[in-house]
Structure 1
């Protein structure tokens, strides 16, 4: 979406500063989604994963930030297979410590810090 002609200059600024994500905090406050979890998918993506029997990711709550979101900022390209792998990993290993790790990584991404650490 780097050269998306539909994005205005102000929209580009909102995306680069991640201010466009702030309205999602209302969804967290309402209890619709969590702060950390697997990112909600488009309807067509959900149907495709269900058809492929890729349902493990749905064991985790939906969230504003997640493992694959912070990981994708470290690379230009991010394959769907890898996203599914990270979502499944989070669904199986979700814990306070992992959530804290993801939140620290998210802050690092927001402030354009370099790599903070690795998941083992």
Structure 2
């Protein structure tokens, strides 16, 4: 059996008292293991958002889960876009794209602050 490696993304990450995190909320092409880092980030953010919340208070719970969903959807969308760009950038023989790809990889080697920031993002 084969399963396509593709991006999938849930529109709602929580409804009532059901919350999605990790691959249940989003899947990306497994380039550089970033799907695992996204999932770890989801769990960390969810834990932080509900820590100390009175789980019997629907208003507090809704506020916390809305904040979790907003924060993590933004991070997931950014990483999904980056991984799709990588996938498409390396999946073509177009000389213009190859030139842009070479430039994009040469730039961080010249700019230390950019290289550090990219490493920070990649490590989660």
TM-score, with structure 2 as normaliser = 0.25
Larger RCO, structure (CA 8 Å, separation 6 or more): 1
Bigger radius of gyration, 1 or 2? 2
TM-score, with structure 1 as normaliser = 0.26
